[in-house]
A and B are shown apart, each in its own frame.
Chain A
């Protein structure tokens, strides 16, 4: 990172279902803004927030813009730490297979594709929160 001291660790916590409220989309926009300013950005999906990453979302019936595809752009923004609460997934009868396959490309390894999503336990989440300079809760 350039400009020593200008980079902070930002964690964005997403807790709500993707549609019905504006939280998920607003969070995504703020994430992209933070990343555009080259901050160290992580995302955490927990509670109903895990539904935001479900693949094959169709919003035609509710007349809202489908922003599922935008999560795939996160890798382009160097956002490659996407944590998902594995208990929240299990409690909703979901597995990693139900989520979009989000990847980033490692410039240092000839653009090799790497997975962005990491499943974490609640103990690991506690540690994750501890490391951050700034936490946003959506």
Chain B
């Protein structure tokens, strides 16, 4: 499978996660978000960028419980809770935000 962004074809797996992390850029993120029915706001970007940094540091996409805790620590308790994160990414913050961030599906993701 693949998606078209700026005339370029980007390979994805059958669930829509892009295959090569290095393909990712912000236009691709916007396209992936559109397919998820998400209009990217500053708050969405904050989570997506956080995930990319986490992956860069630990080489994994965190499970949602870990993501929630880590966001709370970095961005404050009003953002480090599942209500806030599910409002941004209704079908699962780890799953949807990771997809938009161009990361693999989180380990242990349900």
Residues of A within 8 A of B (CB): 29, 32-38, 65-67, 69-70, 72-73, 76-77, 111
Contacts and interface: CB of A to CB of B under 8 A. Distances in A.
A70 B66 contact: no
Interface string B51-80: 000000111101101100110010000000
23 contacts: A32-B63, A32-B108, A33-B107, A33-B108, A34-B108, A35-B108, A36-B63, A36-B66, A36-B107, A36-B109, A37-B108, A65-B59, A69-B58, A69-B59, A70-B58, A72-B58, A73-B60, A73-B62, A76-B62, A76-B66, A76-B69, A76-B70, A77-B63
A65 B104 CA distance: 14
Nearest to A107: B69
A72 B66 CA distance: 13
Contacts of A32: 60, 63, 107-108
Contacts of A65: 59
B34 to A, nearest CB: 29
A36 B69 CA distance: 12
Contacts of B63: 32, 35-36, 77
Contacts of B57: 69, 72
Q: What are the nearest 6 A-B pairs in CB distance?
A: A36-B108, A36-B63, A33-B108, A73-B58, A32-B107, A76-B66
A33 B58 CA distance: 15
Nearest to A75: B66
Contacts of A72: 57-58
A76 B57 CA distance: 13
Nearest to B109: A36
Given A76-B70, A111-B73, A70 B108 contact: no
B60 A70 contact: yes
Given A36-B65, A76-B66, A76-B70, A67 B107 contact: no
A66 B107 contact: no
